[in-house]
Amino acid sequence: MLSKARVKDMEKQGYRLVGGHSAVKVCGWTKKAIRCEDTCYKNTFYGINSHRCVQMTPSFLCSHRCCFCWRDIGFTPSEWKGKVDSPKEIVDGCVKAHVEYLQGFGGSARADYKRFKEALKPLHFAISLFGEPTFYPKLPELIDEIHRREMTSFLVTNGTNLDMLKKLLKHQPTQLYVTLPAPDEKTYEKVCKPLVKNGWSKIQESLELLSRFKCRKAIRLTLVKDINMVNAEGYAKILKNVEADFIELKAYMWVGYSIERLSIENMPRHPEVRKFAEEVAGLAGLKIIDEKENSRVVLLMKKDRKDRVMRF
């Protein structure tokens, strides 16, 4: 699906290609957690063991070209080419590549040896590394395979592949993230530059579909200052009618290829994210229940809902 030159470039960036259309990359928070320096906000909010998490994707395809994406969207495929690897091949390959990458920590004086050994036996799959994972045709079976091995699955989707989300009703992940990239359709078109027709309406349908999922559900807002970090009323109107357990408001980070599209001024500071979260929460009947300042993220939930955080 990718050219040899593209594969070589991705490997220089720390990706490890698995099969014909999957990849894994050790997260910076995983490295910090092995060194006992810090953990990611998913640990703070949901109890994920950051040092035992595999960050991967089963698909390079994407239906968006978001301005805030830190990936090289100019090379992201827009159609499937080649064979479809089996879920077993993907899970085996991702775990193998992940573990091989971590080997250097075994001889590092900065690493906690107990955490290093635990990291070699992953507990979590974050299906969110690159592209839109719902375009992998066997995603339901992949989630089943992850769970069969007694690992949890965190699936992140942009909500434009409604057909696959409907299939997942019978193969639900541990936690389902749906991205809400804008407060209105005009801003959505500007921010995401969708390659699919009726992308905005598909996202709204996906948000409505959340009420039929029994797994833990979260909506993610990636906030870009002066671009989509606007119109709190628009976000609130959508969020107060959606059946979700959590809403994450997170700052866009000026990293990767996004620095070619945006300026550092577009990256909001945590107090700005907090202020915007307070505004959205007040308008949508939500409450702030947690935050992580160095990740510039604030967590909301509905005022009448009990905390559904599950510790792993």
The answer to whether 244 and 218 are in contact (CB under 8 A) is yes
Interatomic CA distance for residues 167 and 143, integer angstroms: 12
Task: Write down the pTM of the prediction.
Answer: 0.92
The answer to whether 127 and 133 are in contact (CB under 8 A) is yes
* DSSP β-bridge partners for residue 302: 286
**How much is the mean pLDDT over the chain?**
93
Count of other CB atoms within 10 angstroms of residue 235: 26
For 148-203, what is each residue's pLDDT tens digit? 999 999 999 999 999 999 999 999 999 999 999 999 999 999 999 999 999 999 99
The CATH fold assigned to 4-221+238-245 is: TIM Barrel (3.20.20)
Where are the chain's structural domains? 4-221+238-245
Residue 44 pLDDT > 80: yes
What number is the average pLDDT over the span 226-253?
96
Tokens of 273: 């994210």
Which residue is listed with tokens 């100019």?
A: 74
